């Protein structure tokens, strides 16, 4: 085991142990340990869920292009990409499961849901996608020359695109929330997910010492293109919102840009998540240190984009005067995650990291070729 891998194990174990406190508080105190309530029913855990699912999509895209589309530059990273996709999916589903009011009733999404429910369809898509990931990992490990690999990667890519778009549609079709209701939201989910997943695989490949010049060059330019596409999509969304002047939507956007947590948008989402990585990718050439920094910044700031989507839409009253009409526990439009929410989020992320590290250690055939 390399020194870098030992450090990753140490960080993941510390986060896992520290986060157990949040897990215990979640099961003993229910949702009373969270800062959301009647008016703001979604918070940090939903943002973590959408972020990790997006990372899974982007990671799987590398594997699907490498094995399914036969892009040789990406084939050395197929194993790491598959393990990252599985770990991120497991973490994302764990986050949303813990966010449910009654986690043990999750099975109702499969058997007691409307056929027109996007959330119900997503539950089945996640299940099929997760099983498919396990099958692909087994085949890649035990039968790397299997003729089933290519068609299964194609099927997986279709599933990832479908549920990635559906994830965005879950927000985009909610007409009651002006900030969410947009045809661009599903596209943003796909592009941002592809960028964050590719960035994390790039970061891990460099950190673990398994990045050859050719895949590094391919990921550099692809990630740069995805970040530029993200910038265009965000500019399109925000500029048309401001120009249209729809009060509820403009107010939510004002909170994103100039509200009490403006720094989440300007420093993390735009500065560290877009501007700095774009500069590094454009000017760094093939220097691994800067490529790794760029990938790490994109991956670890991707949560900020989801926080700026989920929360600002909910903290704006749907009716004028609603903020003052009723008062009481849970009847507040002010939200900032509690310590318990942060601890549980750390536990979920650490669990996903431990899943990746365990599989990486037990399945050496999944590792990329050393550079």
DSSP secondary structure string for all residues of 108-135: HHHHSS-TT-HHHHHHHHHHHHHHHHHH
**pLDDT one-digit tens code per residue, 13-48:** 999 999 999 999 999 988 888 888 777 888 899 999
**Nearest C-alpha neighbor of 312 from the set 179, 142, 139:** 179
Domain extents in the chain = 3-366
Write down the pTM of the prediction. 0.92
- DSSP letter at 267? I
Using an 8 Å Cβ cutoff, are 335 and 314 in contact? yes
The conformation of residue 264, written as its DSSP 8-state character, comes to I
Identify the DSSP state of 326: -
Does the domain formed by 3-366 have CATH 1.10.150.120? no
Angle at 187 between CA 344 and CA 256, to 5 degrees: 55
| Mean pLDDT for the chain overall | 88
Angle in degrees, 0-180, between the axes of helices 213-244 and 288-310, rounded to the nearest 10:
30
Q: How confident is the model at residue 326 (pLDDT cuts 50, 70, 90)?
A: confident
The share of the chain scoring above pLDDT 70, in percent, equals: 98
Most confident of 31-40, 58-67, 280-289: 58-67
Residue 304 has pLDDT above 80, yes or no: yes
Residue 170, C-beta contacts closer than 8 angstroms, at least 6 positions apart: 118, 119, 122
Percent of the chain surpassing pLDDT 90: 49
Q: How many Cα atoms sit within 13 Å of 127 on the Cβ side?
A: 10
């Amino acid at each position: 085991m390399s020194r870098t891998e030992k450090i990753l194990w140490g960080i993941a174990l510390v986060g896992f142990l520290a986060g157990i406190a949040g897990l215990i508080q979640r099961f003993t105190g229910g949702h009373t340990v969270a800062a959301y309530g009647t008016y703001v029913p979604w918070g940090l855990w939903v943002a973590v869920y959408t972020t990790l699912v997006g990372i899974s999509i982007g990671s799987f895209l590398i594997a699907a292009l490498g094995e399914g589309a036969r892009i040789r530059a990406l084939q050395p990273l197929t194993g790491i990409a598959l393990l990252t996709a599985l770990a991120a999916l497991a973490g994302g589903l764990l986050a949303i499961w813990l966010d449910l009011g009654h986690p043990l009733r999750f099975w109702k999404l499969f058997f007691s849901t409307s056929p027109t429910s996007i959330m119900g369809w997503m539950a089945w898509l996640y299940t099929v996608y997760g099983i498919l990931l396990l099958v692909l990992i087994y085949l890649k490990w035990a039968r790397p020359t299997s003729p089933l690999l290519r068609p299964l990667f194609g099927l997986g890519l279709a599933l990832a695109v479908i549920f990635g778009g559906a994830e965005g549609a879950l927000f985009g079709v909610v007409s009651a929330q002006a900030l969410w209701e947009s045809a661009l939201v599903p596209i943003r989910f796909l592009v941002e997910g592809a960028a964050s997943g590719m960035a994390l695989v790039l970061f891990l490949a460099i950190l673990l010492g398994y990045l050859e010049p050719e895949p590094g060059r391919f990921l550099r330019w692809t990630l740069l293109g995805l970040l530029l596409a993200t910038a265009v999509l965000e500019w399109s969304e925000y500029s048309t919102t401001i120009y249209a002047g729809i009060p509820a939507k403009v107010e939510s956007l004002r909170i994103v840009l100039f509200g009490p947590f403006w720094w989440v948008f300007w420093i993390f989402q735009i500065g560290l998540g877009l501007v700095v990585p774009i500069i590094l990718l454009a000017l760094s050439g093939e220097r691994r240190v800067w490529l790794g920094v760029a990938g790490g910044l994109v991956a670890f700031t991707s949560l900020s984009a989801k926080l700026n989507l989920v929360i600002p839409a909910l903290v704006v009253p749907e009716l004028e005067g609603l903020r003052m009409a009723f008062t009481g526990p849970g009847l507040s439009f002010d939200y900032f995650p509690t310590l318990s929410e942060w601890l549980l989020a750390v536990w979920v992320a650490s669990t996903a990291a431990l899943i990746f590290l365990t599989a990486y250690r037990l399945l050496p055939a999944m590792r990329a070729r050393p550079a």
